[in-house]
Amino acid sequence: METNQSAGKIPWDDLKYIFGEIMYGGHIVDDLDRRFCATFLDVLMNDAMLDESEMFPFIEGKSISFKTPTPLTHEGYIKYIETELPPETPLGYGLHPNAEIDFRTSQCEQLFEVLVDMQPKGGGGGAGAVEDNKIKEYFDLVNNTLSLESLKVNLEDLASKMDD
């Protein structure tokens, strides 16, 4: 029996099922959400995705473009992500440019809440040093979590382990 992979065809229906039903399906709350998810996957997961299709098709004339990359190596995709991706914009999600103002305002409010929570409370001699350590631990945690280096996957190493 011939598989899709041996014929060089990408199993889009299988991928849509994996992403839409298995990975995201538990988050679907009603029929409209299910229909939105299915439509979204139909638009994104097709052969046109491999031909440098425009990922922001609804913002024509705004001098913003986001095309899918041509097939690359793992390092090529990392370089593409680091250098070629357009800046994030609400227009890319079909939103009004002012939507970012609300997002940034909420982000600032959360930041200041964290800063207030981290301030030393109560009086006492050595409380400042303890708080400084907590702040450094929190910074290290955030800094290490968001590191791109921690997200890299060595495909050759994985392939060699699978062959064993």
Same domain, 81 and 151: no
Helix spans in the chain (H): 4-7, 12-17, 31-44, 74-83, 99-118, 127-145, 155-163
Same domain, 115 and 37: yes
Same domain, 11 and 72: yes
Provide the pLDDT for residue 109. Answer: 93
| Structural domain total, the chain | 2
Q: What is the mean pLDDT of the chain?
A: 78
Domain that holds residue 132: 127-164
Provide the pLDDT for residue 93. Answer: 77
The backbone torsions φ and ψ at residue 36, rounded to the nearest 5 degrees and listed phi first, read -60, -45
pLDDT at 151 over 70: no
pLDDT at 18 over 70: yes
Three-state DSSP class for residue 60? coil
Same domain, 114 and 69: yes
Same domain, 142 and 121: no
Same domain, 95 and 51: yes
- Contact present, 153 and 74 (Cβ < 8 Å): yes
Angle at the Cα of 38 (from 76 to 78), degrees rounded to 5?
10
Same domain, 57 and 81: yes
